[in-house]
Amino acid sequence: MTTDTPMQLGMVGLGRMGANLVRRLMRDGHTCVVYDLDADAVAQLEQEGATPASSLKDLAGKLGRPRNIWLMLPAGVVQRTVDELTELLAPEDIVIDGGNSYYRDDIARSRQLAPHAVHYVDCGTSGGVWGLERGYCLMVGGEREAVLRLDPLLRTIAPGAGSAEPTPGRTATSGTAPDGYLHCGPSGAGHFVKMVHNGVEYGMMAAIAEGLSIIKHADAGLRDRTVDAETAPLRDPDAYAYEIDVAEVAEVWRRGSVVGSWLVDLVADALARSPGLDGFAGRVSDSGEGRWTVLAAVDESVPAPVITAALYERFASRGLGEFTGKLLSAMRGEFGGHAEKAG
Amino acid sequence: MTTDTPMQLGMVGLGRMGANLVRRLMRDGHTCVVYDLDADAVAQLEQEGATPASSLKDLAGKLGRPRNIWLMLPAGVVQRTVDELTELLAPEDIVIDGGNSYYRDDIARSRQLAPHAVHYVDCGTSGGVWGLERGYCLMVGGEREAVLRLDPLLRTIAPGAGSAEPTPGRTATSGTAPDGYLHCGPSGAGHFVKMVHNGVEYGMMAAIAEGLSIIKHADAGLRDRTVDAETAPLRDPDAYAYEIDVAEVAEVWRRGSVVGSWLVDLVADALARSPGLDGFAGRVSDSGEGRWTVLAAVDESVPAPVITAALYERFASRGLGEFTGKLLSAMRGEFGGHAEKAG
Amino acid sequence: MTTDTPMQLGMVGLGRMGANLVRRLMRDGHTCVVYDLDADAVAQLEQEGATPASSLKDLAGKLGRPRNIWLMLPAGVVQRTVDELTELLAPEDIVIDGGNSYYRDDIARSRQLAPHAVHYVDCGTSGGVWGLERGYCLMVGGEREAVLRLDPLLRTIAPGAGSAEPTPGRTATSGTAPDGYLHCGPSGAGHFVKMVHNGVEYGMMAAIAEGLSIIKHADAGLRDRTVDAETAPLRDPDAYAYEIDVAEVAEVWRRGSVVGSWLVDLVADALARSPGLDGFAGRVSDSGEGRWTVLAAVDESVPAPVITAALYERFASRGLGEFTGKLLSAMRGEFGGHAEKAG
Amino acid sequence: MTTDTPMQLGMVGLGRMGANLVRRLMRDGHTCVVYDLDADAVAQLEQEGATPASSLKDLAGKLGRPRNIWLMLPAGVVQRTVDELTELLAPEDIVIDGGNSYYRDDIARSRQLAPHAVHYVDCGTSGGVWGLERGYCLMVGGEREAVLRLDPLLRTIAPGAGSAEPTPGRTATSGTAPDGYLHCGPSGAGHFVKMVHNGVEYGMMAAIAEGLSIIKHADAGLRDRTVDAETAPLRDPDAYAYEIDVAEVAEVWRRGSVVGSWLVDLVADALARSPGLDGFAGRVSDSGEGRWTVLAAVDESVPAPVITAALYERFASRGLGEFTGKLLSAMRGEFGGHAEKAG
């Protein structure tokens, strides 16, 4: 046991993230009551030391009061879970939504629970499959007292101050940000910051991917390009006669460069495993936060061309611009008699 | 015969554009000597009243001096034609490049011809397959005297002042712009303006196509969208329950709206012919000028996000962002364990 | 009187648009009862033949039943006007919102009026200050019967079939789109199409403005550019040695070119009046529809990079990217010791 | 002395980067002959153990053969330095350009030196003011033998394998990328990769800055926004009622988050020093590589919307879109009678 102040947490949702949070908490001396629709997931964690629950009601019953219940669920099932919990909880209990809910839903849910004197805390959780070892970056919203009460749990889940060099210019001696978690503001503020975090992630990922793609295609002058009235010739093929190993480029950028980042670490790893990225077709999913970030930028009148371009690049990668393309080809056909070229 | 000052022109290149230029000129009383590698194209125009030539040399021989020779050729063969003509021409002759050459090549070619006292005029020609009837918008570069000498020819090719209402605020009484042709500046200036014209065209086309696509997809709430951890659900399907006839939208925009334009006319026509744009896959070609416009913007430090986005949208429509997409999916796989979804 | 079926319309809101709609309607034989908070505006139209009203109630009283009432109001006051009208109207009356309301409000308002059996019609109206002469392009949403009943009024307001050449490929003989108005679908569909129309307008305007700006700066090589470690030198100043008259370029593009459009007509007029665009600082407003178009694109998963870039370009023109810029300069200072250059 | 194979290097250009490279090399046991136009810079390094030179000729004379000469100069003076060195050097000497030259110049310079049997190595050097301690990421182009000969020097300058965790998926046991330097290919390949590196840097910086700006403006609902026909009202001010401390957000993102990166470290530092970023106006410079990256993307037909948006965002921050903005405002004035709002 390493934490000075062991606490008890109920975890609802034992997918990869939820299960690993439980493991990280127990490893540090906290105790957990766990529930999931999938009984195997519950049994697995029971084996690792957690207390199993067979329903939300069972979970509520097995937790000491005031309760701390963490939801780690797909966004689509959070609301019904909160609805059900409303009936089971008591004043001063805390419900934490650690998933990727839209921050506007947090505002509504905190209002829904307020009459019951149940606290609602929204917690954006970054770290992915690596969080068990590295810790998770936590962006938290809700009432100050509730967040304060959760401090020992949040501190355990977060990476801790030792996970990065201190910021040289930092003179503030208070605040938990250097420990890897931050109370960002009232309800929704945590998921708002996490939402934008993911928008930034989209932009950074796209910058890296575009750059490596430009390097990959530095051999354009070595390859034939069809030249006809429909295709611009490459004017100076000699300037594009490089065959550069992008996997090695990603690897070298990991050390000492300005673009050094966890994302570059990850792309270096992916390229080391498969230089041709076999098994990927290039159809890039998006899961909500990038879109919501764009909506926020537009509402706030803040120009966000880079983050938005990254979002649309993902849409386009999935063929969602097809009708736009057909219209463009049709216009070209109309004014220039251009036939569309075969793929 | 309607022109007051009939002239003689040699036309090299009898594709759709070249042939129609000859027809429009002859219709207005000018005479033409014509040459093309394709003897049938020459024969066709001979039948319509042009003087046929069997080679560049033959063409040069059949033209009175000083000669006016218009090249209407793919960009890739202009240089060798100019090279060959250099040997055949005499002082005061004029070579006009009416195709889509890069303006930097014009600068070089005018320098190449200068020692021979042969004038080089670059002429950006817009109008496409409709130019025979509507006339062509001409953007001209080169020495003032040479352009002035060509005035009767340019005036015939251009649409003429009657083709549009006078600009209300215009007080200038000189200048040929209201007639539909403009001497833009020294060598290359014509193709520079035409290049940017095409960049503008890319942007306008994209704006129209994106807009109609957004209208087309106003039915998003009526269709199932897979909802899982990888896909953001549509929050308010009721707001996207429209099935709007985009062909009729394009038609109504043709009258009285702010977006009224020839491009909207054309897209209305294309959609009237085939509401589903059958036969188009949405792979949009680009033929040089859009790219060069972007290069110029970057060189000049002028932000051109709209024109550039339109260019990249075409690249993406042809699958050229595939490696970028693979890198993005690979990064998502690394940090989140996300598998790429099937297409 | 030219219309075969004169009707009566109540107009609420006599700003430029509202007043001109009344004039266009009366000119064609319809009769109008008019109301505005500004009594002078009412008096002016009374002088031109309209029946004045001193309040909404007075207006309702002076209209024969079933009533047709057109609101031409700032978006911010439509709701309270609809609320007030709800008390004054009777079954089968029609309220038309001809302003720039958000289409989602239309859906709500039509539901608000439905229990009263009052019809709500949303009508996007394009044409600006020129509409009195040119007619207005109308994009209409609401119940089919209500829209049908308004046909004589809509037909008068719209530009009419003669305002543009028939679309060559059009074989449909029914439909009102060629007359310049279109019933797009149920409640909100009219403003949805108008919203996207304005998004397209943003994109087209930006394409034209960027292009003319690139042409304006074709003199970059003639002007000194500070060259230091912070500024990239222009590699080939000779290629940017043009001083091109952008006003004349806009004028020539009006005739026969692919970019020919009403917007090019307008920019030619603005440049003819003031080549330096004196009196403009370049801070470009946006008034809602562009933003809403982007929100729709994101919700629908339709990539709209061009329209969105145009919106952000407007934001940036008003200095709304300032904090972003400060962060960028601060980062440059951190890693490179770069001081920000003075403006 | 820590290197096993001490070498001798001549350094031309003792600015921050050049001087620190010399220090890092000497610290590891290499010896340096140094030259700069600024005698004080030479004297300073002499004091630290370097051999001073008073001219390029003096430097060439003081180096043992075959010589290794590193140029760390502004891009604008590299060519004349190479020209001068051509006369002073002997077969098998190596000239390294460690600055930010355009890779196309490298190709030309390597051809210029080839007849003298002098090798030319281009070396992109990333690391900024922190490189002395962290080491520099090196991207190298040129002939294999030359690069191989420089290995001990490059190894010292680079951060070394210990500067980052090994890439888990990496199975390759050869290659120098894990040591922080990479031979990317023939002449120009090093600067090509460094150029794109900087393009990626632009994109990543912009993503971070846009995101933090969106968070900063999450208070939009708390502030008045002028509402008139020219300005869209904020529909849901309650959703933008956060006052979030962006400095703390940057700090928390440093630990465990997906966006963790050196750039986030730096922005956290800048915000810790000055939360309001006082002293910055937000006019962001660009110094060539970002532009060249865009030119390469266009030439290669690779869509790069994110990197390009980042570049244009910098242009716009310096007011370079002003004429575009004026044209947009002028068009709005023409069709809508909209006056431009004061700043």
Rounded to an integer, the average pLDDT of D235-250 is 96
Is A216 catalytic? The answer is no
Share the mean pLDDT of chain D: 94
Which member of B46, B57, B87, B194 is catalytic? B194
Query: How far, in Å, CA of A174 to CA of A142, rounded?
Result: 19
Rounded to an integer, the average pLDDT of B278-287 is 92
Closest by CA position to D236, among listed C229, B269, A108, A120: A108
Q: Helices B75-88 and B103-113 sit at what angle, rounded to 10 degrees?
A: 10
Closest CA of chain C from B234, distance in Å = 6
Number of H helices, E strands in chain B: 14, 8
**Which residue in the block uniquely carries the two structure tokens 């899982």?**
B228
Of A184, A252, A306, the CB nearest to D137: A252
Collect all residues of chain A within an 8 Å Cβ-Cβ radius of residue C316: 303
Q: Catalytic amino acids of D?
A: 194, 201
pLDDT digits 0-9 by tens, A240-287: 999 999 999 999 999 999 999 999 999 999 999 999 998 999 999 998
Q: With cut-offs at 50, 70 and 90, classify the pLDDT of residue C343.
A: low
Share the mean pLDDT of chain A: 94
Cβ C213–D327 below 8 Å, yes or no?
yes
Beta bridge partners of D31: D8
Specify the amino acid at residue A17: M
pLDDT at A288: 92
Length of chain B: 343
pLDDT over threshold 80, residue D1: no
CA distances from C67 to B236, C29, C86, C150 (A): 33, 17, 13, 11
pLDDT at D331: 96
Cβ C340–D284 below 8 Å, yes or no?
yes
Residues 6+ apart with CB under 8 A from C295: A295, A298
Rounded to an integer, the average pLDDT of B231-237 is 81
Cβ A298–C302 below 8 Å, yes or no?
no
Cβ D309–B305 below 8 Å, yes or no?
yes
B155-193: b (≥16 Cβ within 10 Å) or e: bbbbbbeebbeebeebeeeeebbbbbbbbbbbbbbbbbb
Helix H, strand E, coil C: the string for chain A is CCCCCCCEEEEECCCHHHHHHHHHHHHCCCEEEEECCCHHHHHHHHHCCCEECCCHHHHHHHCCCCCEEEECCCHHHHHHHHHHHHHHCCCCCEEEECCCCCHHHHHHHHHHHHHHCCEEEEEEEECHHHHHHHCCEEEEECCHHHHHHCHHHHHHHCCCHHHCCCCCCCCCCCCCHHHCEEEEECCCHHHHHHHHHHHHHHHHHHHHHHHHHHHHHHHHHHCCCCCECCECCCCCHHHHCCCCCHHHHHHHHCCCCCCCEHHHHHHHHHHHHCCCCCCCCCCCCECCHHHHHHHHHHHHCCCCHHHHHHHHHHHHHCCCCHHHHHHHHHHHHHHHCCCCCCC
Cβ B135–C256 below 8 Å, yes or no?
yes
Candidates D308, D327, D338: best to mutate against B (most CBs of B within 10 A) is D308
Q: With cut-offs at 50, 70 and 90, classify the pLDDT of residue C1.
A: low
Q: With cut-offs at 50, 70 and 90, classify the pLDDT of residue C172.
A: confident
C1-5, C27-31, C213-217, D257-261: lowest mean pLDDT where? C1-5
Helix/strand/coil for C229? coil
Instruction: Give Dmax over CA atoms of chain C in angstroms.
Output: 77
Of C298, C302, C335, the CB nearest to A295: C298
Decide if D47 contacts D23 (C-beta within 8 A): no
**Which residue in the block uniquely carries the two structure tokens 């632009």?**
D202
**Which residue in the block uniquely carries the two structure tokens 């069809």?**
A226
pLDDT at B226: 60
Query: How far, in Å, CA of B13 to CA of B77, rounded?
Result: 10
CB atoms within 10 A of CB C49: 12
Residues 6+ apart with CB under 8 A from A13: A36, A71, A72, A73, A99
Closest by CA position to B8, among listed A327, A322, C108, B28: B28
CA distances from A154 to A145, A147, A179, C230, C279 (A): 14, 9, 9, 44, 57
Cβ B338–A270 below 8 Å, yes or no?
no
pLDDT over threshold 70, residue A229: no
Helix/strand/coil for C70? strand
CB pairs under 8 A between C and D: 241
pLDDT over threshold 90, residue A128: no
pLDDT at C181: 97
DSSP state of B297: H
Of B75, B285, B340, the CB nearest to A341: B285
Of D248, D260, D296, the CB nearest to A214: D296
pLDDT digits 0-9 by tens, D299-334: 999 999 999 999 999 999 999 999 999 999 999 999
| DSSP state letters, D228-251 | BTTBPPPS-GGGG-----HHHHHH
Q: Half-sphere exposure of residue C123, counting CA atoms within 13 Å on the CB side?
A: 31
DSSP state of C259: T
pLDDT at B331: 96
- Backbone phi and psi for residue C109, each to the nearest 5 degrees, phi listed first: -70, -35
Q: With cut-offs at 50, 70 and 90, classify the pLDDT of residue A232.
A: low
pLDDT digits 0-9 by tens, C296-319: 999 999 999 999 999 999 999 999
Cα-Cα end-to-end distance for chain A: 62
D102-138: b (≥16 Cβ within 10 Å) or e: bbbbbbebbebbeeeebbbbbbbbbbbbbbbebbbbb
Percent of chain D with pLDDT over 70: 97
Closest CA of chain D from C343, distance in Å = 7
Q: With cut-offs at 50, 70 and 90, classify the pLDDT of residue C220.
A: very high
Helix/strand/coil for B112? helix
Cβ C312–A309 below 8 Å, yes or no?
no
pLDDT at A287: 85
Percent of chain A with pLDDT over 90: 89
Collect all residues of chain A within an 8 Å Cβ-Cβ radius of residue B339: none
Rounded to an integer, the average pLDDT of A188-210 is 98
pLDDT over threshold 70, residue B241: yes
Decide if D82 contacts D99 (C-beta within 8 A): no
Cβ B303–D309 below 8 Å, yes or no?
no
Of B197, B248, B256, the CB nearest to C131: B256
Looking at chain C, which residue has its C-alpha nearest residue B160? C255
CA Rg, chain A, in Å? 25
Decide if D10 contacts D95 (C-beta within 8 A): no
Cβ D256–A185 below 8 Å, yes or no?
no
CA Rg, chain B, in Å? 25
Candidates B196, B259, B312: best to mutate against D (most CBs of D within 10 A) is B312
pLDDT at B342: 62
Helix/strand/coil for C235? coil
B131-135, B183-187, C81-85: lowest mean pLDDT where? B131-135
Question: With left for phi above 0 and alpha for psi between -120 and 50, is residue C317 left, alpha or beta?
Answer: alpha
Rounded to an integer, the average pLDDT of A181-188 is 98
Question: What residues of chain A have any CB closer than 8 angstroms to a CB in chain C?
Answer: 258, 291, 294-295, 298-299, 301-305, 308-309, 311-313, 315-316, 318, 320-321, 324, 335
Q: Which chains touch C (3 or more CB pairs under 8 A)?
A: A, B, D
Cβ A270–B334 below 8 Å, yes or no?
yes
Q: Half-sphere exposure of residue A63, counting CA atoms within 13 Å on the CB side?
A: 30
- Backbone phi and psi for residue B282, each to the nearest 5 degrees, phi listed first: 90, 15
Cβ burial, residue D235 (10 Å; 0-12/13-18/19+) = middle
Decide if A234 contacts A225 (C-beta within 8 A): yes
Cβ C282–D326 below 8 Å, yes or no?
yes
Residue B62, both tokens: 């059949």
pLDDT digits 0-9 by tens, C224-260: 766 555 566 789 999 999 999 999 999 999 999 999 9
Candidates C104, C155, C173, C214: best to mutate against B (most CBs of B within 10 A) is C214
Residue A244, both tokens: 């550069």
Residue A174, both tokens: 């208070």
pLDDT at A156: 97
Looking at chain B, which residue has its C-alpha nearest residue C292? B214
Rounded to an integer, the average pLDDT of A80-102 is 97
Q: Which chains touch B (3 or more CB pairs under 8 A)?
A: A, C, D
Closest CA of chain C from D23, distance in Å = 18
Of C213, C235, C272, the CB nearest to B169: C272
Candidates C170, C312, C320: best to mutate against A (most CBs of A within 10 A) is C312
Decide if B231 contacts A314 (C-beta within 8 A): no
Q: Half-sphere exposure of residue D77, counting CA atoms within 13 Å on the CB side?
A: 10
pLDDT over threshold 90, residue D119: yes
Decide if C338 contacts D285 (C-beta within 8 A): yes
Collect all residues of chain C within an 8 Å Cβ-Cβ radius of residue A316: 303
pLDDT at A103: 98
pLDDT at B1: 55
pLDDT at C227: 54
Is A194 catalytic? The answer is yes
pLDDT digits 0-9 by tens, A143-180: 999 999 999 999 999 999 999 999 999 998 889 999 99
pLDDT at A172: 85
What is the distance of C-alpha C35 from the center of its chain?
23
Q: With cut-offs at 50, 70 and 90, classify the pLDDT of residue B14.
A: very high
In chain A, the domains with their CATH numbers are 8-163+174-187 (3.40.50.720), 194-336 (1.10.1040.10)
Q: With cut-offs at 50, 70 and 90, classify the pLDDT of residue B287.
A: confident
CB atoms within 10 A of CB A111: 11
pLDDT digits 0-9 by tens, A296-341: 999 999 999 999 999 999 999 999 999 999 999 999 999 887 777 7
Which member of B84, B145, B165, B201 is catalytic? B201
Query: How far, in Å, CA of C315 to CA of D5, rounded?
Result: 57
Alpha helices for B99-240 (secondary structure H): 103-113, 131-134, 144-149, 151-157, 189-216
Cβ A302–C320 below 8 Å, yes or no?
yes
Residues 6+ apart with CB under 8 A from B278: none
CA distances from D196 to B39, C7, D297 (A): 50, 67, 10
pLDDT at D230: 58
